[in-house]
């Protein structure tokens, strides 16, 4: 079986391999930042970190291309840290292990980090490869994109000199993105009364496992099972129909990843009745999602080392109902872009434990007013359950520009190279273009990238042939950049 070291283009895959060796979960970018700075020094590339922590590289024009417009190649250094429960992996310390499965490259039980490691690797390859013909180049590698787009938000208006920005963070070869959705985070919190463990009750764990999960923007249209909603549906029936007491409930761990797993612990005197409910409702849920989530499983088993307190009964039911009723998934399809999700919400993280409840969601929309309306719906549901809400991390979408010069250049180049037109579209996900465009309003922007599947989940994989194709396309585009 081949390895990552056998893949072409070698210059891109070698850079990507080096990135897989640098721990780089969001908010822990110290090691990858140091690596990038040293890499630039070793390759004779002007490289520095701005005052907030973004890494900038500057590459002079190829002789004869000095009068071309300056292009910014942009990606992000961080990755989403997701792993299967049976995998031992510390994202803050351990490298990513890759393997080849036919025409796909995958990681061993974790996210691969091709989002956006491959985009960064291509930008590094442009800086390294002296055969690439191009005008002046700036490389912007931001940090903490996945949990707040912090690096892009804190970018200063005097840092970049470029005229055109090519974002290398989209995930389907042959598609050019000229617009993206804006976002808004819900942070909801509350406190509740706990009661001591009742005599004669036994503790049981109810686990939801094997959901497909995925990117909360790209994959939300697939209507996959949200583990938090599945868990709440089970608990609703259990709490309504039995003597069960909720001890705790926890699911999801990333705001921009569809939750794959959730678990709750209950006390009960009638474990057989609870088991019958879990079997009946579980079978119904598994049947409903047999196409989108074929590996979904629900497990009830005795729980060990359980806390001695449980959530007061009325409060427990109220919280479970709030999770069950909170908007999740596609809220509305676009009226102007057929087949594109306009507005959605990802019920990302639920934690009811130790006298505290916290719920995190991520809303996306191309329409700011629709995003506000959805936030009011979410707040209304949670507030009725006595849970306080606040909204953070708001960013507007990136509106398409029909007169974009770089779009026209890339359309022509793609048609000339591959004999067909690329798809030009907007994406229901957060690209940094919208934020960067707000800081640099005169930038002409576009986004592209190789084909990835199931980013933000351990099923993340990159289609190997698409990397060569995108690399060849990027080189041709850089050679075709117009003069100033």
Domains of the chain, residue spans: 4-181+397-479, 184-395
- Catalytic residue of the set 145, 171, 219, 250: 145
Same fold, 4-181+397-479 and 184-395: no
* Cross-strand bridge partners of residue 110: 83
Pairing of strands 423-427, 202-209: unpaired
Total-model pTM: 0.80
Give catalytic status of residue 145 as yes or no. Answer: yes
184-395 placed in CATH 3.30.70.360: yes
d(Cα 21, Cα 97) in Å, to the nearest integer?
A: 8
Pairing of strands 297-302, 341-353: unpaired
d(Cα 213, Cα 347) in Å, to the nearest integer?
A: 12
Name residues of the chain where pLDDT drops below 70. Answer: 1
Report pLDDT digits (tens) over 40-96: 999 999 999 999 999 999 999 999 999 999 999 999 999 999 998 889 999 999 999
- Catalytic residue of the set 29, 78, 231, 263: 78
| Continuous H helices in 201-358 | 227-241, 271-288, 313-325
* Cross-strand bridge partners of residue 48: 56
Strand extents, DSSP E, 303-451: 309-311, 329-333, 341-353, 356-365, 388-395, 423-427, 444-447
Give catalytic status of residue 78 as yes or no. Answer: yes
For residue 329, CA distances in Å to 7, 229, 435 come to 37, 11, 24
Local structure of 208: helix, strand or coil: strand
For residue 417, CA distances in Å to 71, 230, 474 come to 21, 47, 11
As separate numbers, helices (DSSP H) first and strands (DSSP E) second, the chain gives 12, 23
d(Cα 367, Cα 358) in Å, to the nearest integer?
A: 27
| 4-181+397-479: CATH topology | Aminopeptidase (3.40.630)
d(Cα 470, Cα 414) in Å, to the nearest integer?
A: 10
Q: What is the pLDDT of residue 1?
A: 57
Q: What is the pLDDT of residue 306?
A: 87
Q: Which residues contact 131 (CB under 8 A, 6 or more apart)?
A: none
């Amino acid at each position: 079986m081949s390895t990552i070291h056998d893949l072409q283009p070698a210059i891109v895959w070698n850079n990507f391999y080096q990135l897989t060796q640098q721990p780089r979960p969001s908010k822990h970018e110290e090691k990858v930042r140091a690596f990038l700075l040293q890499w630039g020094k070793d390759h004779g590339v002007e490289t520095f970190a701005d005052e907030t922590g973004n890494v900038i590289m500057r590459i002079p024009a190829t002789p004869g291309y000095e009068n071309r417009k300056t292009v910014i190649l942009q990606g992000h250094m961080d990755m989403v840290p997701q792993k299967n429960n049976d995998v031992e992996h510390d994202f803050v310390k351990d490298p990513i292990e890759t393997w080849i499965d036919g025409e796909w490259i995958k990681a061993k039980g974790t996210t691969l980090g091709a989002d956006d490691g491959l985009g960064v690797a291509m930008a590094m390859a442009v800086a390294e490869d002296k055969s690439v013909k191009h005008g002046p180049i700036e490389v912007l590698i931001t940090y903490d994109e996945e949990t707040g787009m912090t690096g892009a938000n804190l970018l200063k208006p005097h840092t970049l000199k470029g005229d055109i920005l090519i974002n290398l963070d989209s995930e389907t070869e042959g598609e050019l993105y000229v617009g993206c959705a804006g976002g808004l985070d819900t942070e909801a919190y509350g406190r509740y009364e706990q009661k001591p463990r009742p005599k004669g009750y036994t503790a049981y764990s109810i686990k939801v496992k094997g959901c497909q999960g995925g990117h909360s923007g790209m994959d939300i249209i697939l209507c996959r099972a949200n583990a938090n909603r599945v868990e709440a549906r089970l608990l609703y029936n259990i709490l309504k129909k039995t003597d069960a007491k909720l001890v705790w409930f926890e699911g999801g761990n990333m705001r921009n990843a569809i939750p794959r797993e959730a678990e709750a612990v209950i006390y009960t005197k009638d474990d057989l009745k609870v088991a019958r409910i879990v079997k009946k409702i579980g079978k119904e849920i598994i049947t409903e999602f047999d196409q989108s989530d074929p590996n979904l499983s629900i497990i009830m088993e005795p729980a060990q080392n359980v806390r001695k307190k449980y959530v007061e009964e009325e409060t427990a039911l109220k919280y479970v109902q709030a999770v069950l009723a909170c908007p999740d998934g596609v809220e509305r399809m676009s009226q102007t872009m057929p087949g594109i999700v306009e507005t959605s919400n990802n019920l990302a993280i639920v934690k009811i434990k130790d006298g505290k409840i916290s719920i995190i969601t991520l809303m996306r929309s191309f329409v700011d007013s629709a995003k506000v309306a959805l936030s009011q719906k979410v707040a209304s549901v949670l507030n009725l359950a006595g849970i306080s809400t606040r909204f953070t991390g708001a960013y507007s979408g990136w509106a398409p520009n029909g007169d974009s010069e770089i779009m026209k250049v890339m359309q022509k180049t793609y048609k000339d190279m591959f004999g067909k037109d690329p798809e030009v579209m907007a994406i229901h996900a957060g690209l940094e273009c919208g934020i960067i465009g707000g800081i640099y309003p005169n930038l002409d922007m576009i986004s592209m990238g190789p084909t990835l599947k199931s980013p933000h989940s351990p099923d993340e994989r990159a289609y190997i042939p698409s990397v060569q194709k995108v690399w060849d396309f990027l080189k041709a585009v850089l050679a075709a950049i117009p003069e100033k």
